C-alpha cells in the first residue's frame, strides 16, 4: 500500500466498489453516488460533503482516504501561460502535471508513475528510474486539482507526463473508467489521449477495452536502428512488431493512431529520413505529430533547426500524411515534452 495511511483509498474505487464500501459502513447504497459526485468535484475533505449526515462523514474520515495531492510548487510560463504543477504524493514522492491552453480548450498533461524505467535517451522523466506506480486516485486527483485551481473543469486530458502508462495498466484503466463515469467527472473518452512508448501487450488490451480513447505511440525514428539507440524498449518490443501491432489496432478500432516523433538535430531529422518514415508507416491510418526536441541538460542532443522541421513536415505531407508540428508550450518552465521530472524543484 502506498503512503502511510492504512485507510481505504476510495478515490481509486469504481462506482460499484464504492457502493459496496458504503454498505459495509452500514449506510444505504445511494450514499455512494453522493460521495462519488463530491470526490469528482475535487473536495479535499469529507467535511466538504455537506449533504451527507455528520455521523457518516465521521465514519468516512475514520475509514477512508481521499488521496488528495498537495501542490508543492506552481510555475506559470511568461511566454504562453502554461502552468506546471509539482504535486506531493502522500508518501512524500513528487509528480508533475502541466496545463496547456489552446483555442479549443484547456488540456492537462498528467503522470502515471513517480519516475520511469523506460530509459529513453532524450527524456528527463527517467532520471533516477522508477520509484513507484501511482494509484488510480492519484492519477485522477491531478485532473481534479488542476480543475479546482482553474475554477472550471479541464476540457481534455493527455496521459503523457512522467511514467509509461501501460507499465501501470491496471491503475490507468481504473482512472479512465472513473473519469468517464457520468456520475462523476463525466469526461468523454474522445477527449482523452494515452501515450505509450510501445508496450505491445498494453496496446492490444487497450484496443479491446478503450477503443474510443485516442492512442498515441512514441515512435521517434524512421527505422529500428535509430529507435534502438534512442529507446531501450525496442529491445523487448522491436520496431517491426510495434508497426504490426499498430496495424492490428487500426483494423480492430477503426481509429487512427497518433505517432509522436521528436526531431533531434543530426539524429532523425533529415529529408531522407522523412521519406523513409513515410514508407515505414504506409498503410497505417495515422496522424504524425512532429515535436522539436526540448533540450534536457546532460542528454547531449540538440533540437532540429526550424527549417529542417519544416522540410520534414513537407516531405510527409507530400506523401499524403497529416503531419503537424506541436506548439512548443511551457519550455521556459521545463514543462514541454520530455522535460518533466518526478522530483522537487
Residues forming the active site: 96, 337
* Structural contact between residues 116 and 162, judged by C-beta atoms closer than 8 angstroms: yes
Q: How far apart are CA 159 and CA 165, in angstroms?
A: 7
Name the 3-class secondary structure at 26.
Answer: coil
Distance, C-alpha 116 to centroid of its chain: 13
CA-CA-CA-CA torsion sign (114, 118, 122, 128): positive
Residue whose C-alpha is closest to residue 216's, from 174, 168, 161, 270: 161
Residues 188, 179: Cα–Cα separation, whole Å: 9
Would you tell me how many other CB atoms lie within 10 Å of the CB of residue 45? 12
Radius of gyration of the chain (CA): 21
Q: Report the candidate in 97, 169, 175 with the shortest Cα–Cα distance to residue 133.
A: 169
Give CA–CA dist 56/61, Å, rounded.
9
Look up cell 542532443; give the residue. Answer: 301
| Helix, strand, coil percentages for the chain (3-state, nearest 5) | 40, 20, 40
CB 163 within 8 A of CB 116: yes
What is the DSSP code string of 155-177? Answer: SEEEE-SSS-GGGGHHHHHHHHH
Whether 66 and 11 have beta carbons less than 8 Å apart is answered as: yes
Amino acid at each position: 500500500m502506498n503512503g502511510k495511511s492504512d485507510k481505504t483509498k476510495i478515490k481509486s474505487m469504481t462506482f460499484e466498489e464504492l457502493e459496496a464500501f458504503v454498505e459495509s459502513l452500514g449506510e444505504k447504497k445511494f450514499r455512494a453516488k453522493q460521495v462519488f459526485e463530491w470526490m469528482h468535484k475535487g473536495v479535499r475533505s469529507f467535511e466538504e460533503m455537506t449533504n451527507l449526515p455528520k455521523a457518516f462523514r465521521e465514519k468516512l474520515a475514520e475509514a477512508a482516504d481521499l488521496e488528495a495531492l498537495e501542490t508543492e510548487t506552481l510555475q506559470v510560463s511568461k511566454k504562453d501561460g502554461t502552468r506546471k504543477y509539482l504535486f506531493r504524493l502522500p508518501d512524500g514522492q513528487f509528480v508533475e502535471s502541466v496545463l496547456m491552453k489552446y483555442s479549443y480548450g484547456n488540456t492537462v498533461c498528467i503522470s502515471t508513475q513517480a519516475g520511469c524505467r523506460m530509459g529513453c535517451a532524450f527524456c528527463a522523466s527517467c532520471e533516477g528510474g522508477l520509484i513507484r506506480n501511482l494509484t488510480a486516485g492519484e492519477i485522477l486527483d491531478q485532473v481534479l486539482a488542476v480543475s479546482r485551481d482553474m475554477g472550471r473543469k479541464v476540457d481534455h486530458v493527455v496521459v503523457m507526463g512522467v511514467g509509461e502508462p501501460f507499465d501501470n495498466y491496471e491503475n490507468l484503466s481504473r482512472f479512465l473508467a472513473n473519469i468517464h463515469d457520468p456520475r462523476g467527472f463525466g469526461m468523454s473518452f474522445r477527449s482523452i489521449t494515452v501515450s505509450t512508448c510501445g508496450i505491445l501487450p498494453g496496446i492490444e488490451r487497450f484496443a479491446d477495452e478503450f477503443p474510443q480513447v485516442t492512442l498515441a505511440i512514441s515512435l521517434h525514428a524512421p527505422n529500428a536502428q535509430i529507435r534502438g539507440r534512442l529507446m531501450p524498449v525496442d529491445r523487448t518490443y522491436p520496431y517491426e512488431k510495434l508497426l504490426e501491432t499498430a496495424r492490428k489496432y487500426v483494423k480492430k478500432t477503426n481509429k487512427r493512431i497518433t505517432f509522436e516523433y521528436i526531431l533531434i538535430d543530426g539524429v532523425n531529422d533529415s529529408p531522407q529520413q522523412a521519406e523513409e518514415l513515410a514508407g515505414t508507416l504506409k498503410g497505417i491510418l495515422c496522424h504524425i505529430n512532429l515535436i522539436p526536441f526540448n533540450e534536457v541538460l546532460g542528454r547531449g542532443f540538440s533540437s532540429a533547426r526550424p527549417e529542417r522541421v519544416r522540410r520534414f513536415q513537407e516531405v510527409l505531407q507530400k506523401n499524403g500524411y497529416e503531419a503537424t508540428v506541436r506548439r512548443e508550450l511551457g519550455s521556459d518552465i521545463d514543462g514541454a515534452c520530455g522535460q518533466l521530472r518526478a522530483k522537487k524543484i
